[in-house]
Chains A and B, each alone.
Chain A
């Protein structure tokens, strides 16, 4: 069926380095791609999103890129800080009902 695949499942980086998380989707009609951050014991919160008519979007240290032809999108975090440590989920609208389908998550650890 239609799904969203996310890689890597875990990622450790040194403070100040960049982190990249990648997702692929199967539905060529997908048009909305949000990224959520979930800190331990807390609810997922939207950090950035992109729509299919845009190739890249940036918000301070966070950026998302979308390649519709290849059906993949990526989250880029620059100058990582310990407070960036969390689980990150990508998502895409999938299927005729355009239901938001989530990737399996990436546990990001920023080492001081």
Chain B
């Protein structure tokens, strides 16, 4: 099976802009989770989607949002970008909850 893919791999934006990141899970996986990884904060959970429904949400401001499509592909959107949003954004897919999560390669977002 093909692994989790994320696009784009690298992105440079300026403050105030918005950005959309995409994640395609492993075929058959219905759960997609998103994480923000920064050097000082480790892996911070953003949200999890399962069968097009957001099941869980981390402690991030409302500027961070996401959705999942019927084919399980997921997108996350960050509006009104801030310098502190610069990070590696990882998505991970899982066949069900509470199981091994398979990570994608991440999208490196730089906000100038």
Question: Taking beta carbons and an 8 Å cutoff, which residues of A are in contact with B?
Answer: 31-32, 34, 36, 42-46, 49, 89, 93, 95, 97-105
Contacts and interface: CB of A to CB of B under 8 A. Distances in A.
B15 interface: no
B63 interface: no
A49 B41 CA distance: 23
Contacts of B97: 97-98
Contact of B101 (A31, A98, A100, A103): A100
Contact of B106 (A36, A43, A100): A43
Nearest to B50: A97
A98 B48 CA distance: 11
Contacts of B90: 43-44
B98 A105 contact: no
B108 to A, nearest CB: 10
A98 B103 CA distance: 18
B74 interface: no
A43 B104 contact: yes
B43 interface: yes
A89 to B, nearest CB: 6
B42 A104 contact: yes
Contacts of A49: 100
Contacts of A32: 98-99
Interface in B44-71: 45, 48, 55-56
B74 to A, nearest CB: 16
A63 B43 CA distance: 23
B72 interface: no
